[in-house]
Structure 1
């Protein structure tokens, strides 16, 4: 908050940004808002000072478990859902009327641009899946000692099937190069038999660390999979993120190739 408050000060609206509160006052203000909201549900929060010393608030479990669309399930006529028919729809006329080339009005299988069934897998035969990290929130806290201690060979850890590793002369703990037509990165490998052969897994969020390898080829030295994934939407309708899956090839890294 301090950084952004100082930036706002340079633009002459510090007070509008901070609303007259410092960091601790904002924490307490947000806590009080949360406490008021829960009070409407007959859930009493402790005083802020008690919460701050304890470090948590325990929310009691309600007597009735939450059931998705329970009113609709109990009486569909009295509690229709927000569709044209008021029912669960497997076909949507509104979407069908858009006449999109890549999105029909009903569920259907469409092959991804990159997967092991694509012709491109002859050149890049490993399907890389990037997942959310267990030791940080996206990229936040990546530079901390705790997160860095979990790296492999100084890079983000990539998990690879034992057969795929053996075929490439790669051993557990090795420094590796991961590449495709869009980019290259370094990673540290952990070999396992807990994956499907042909599939590798790496967490997102390593802080981008650009550099140059042999012949001045640009790459990322941290192990950020975003240098390899596609930069396109999931479809012409949704435009959701499509950055968690792509085809790659992997080889053992030779130190003299990096500049």
Structure 2
């Protein structure tokens, strides 16, 4: 931390065999990439946490590695530094590099990764492309209503009462099959049990749910569709029970 960003990059660049004009040019390039050009000669001990994280990332990039191994690189950084790091990773892969990326932030993995391995309690439970993982989970329809008290039994087999709605009571019609036992799940080529998607059955459940709500004189205030994302895939595979 006694060195500036430039001197840090020069030091590590020399360790990787870079010298002279090539080293100086590469340091300037990395400083621009990580957004530290204007602070290149400041002592890194005076940097903010986000700036230090970007400098660490720049050191990893200095020799243009073929593979980057990153363990939660955005943990605890500010939004701007996080955005810049994501840009750097995307640029690295666009230039032909590979990244092994470990993170608890599903939106990051979905944004930058082509293939994802999901671990639960040390066990691999999914190993597939982002496209295939998302395709295995249909969108849910949220029907925001004026009340949900006492209607759970009436909606059995059709819909469920939302437990994650904070704005208004909601009824959820799932795009996936309602039967969640192991026999009803469709195994993928990678050994992951996914719930089967039946568009016809989903349309029937949605129509039947709306009819049932009308019979119960429950007003539907608004409708939202919750699209598939990697976080929903993760919770679908692991469940929502807390891990200690």
TM-score normalised per structure 1: 0.22
Higher helix share: 2
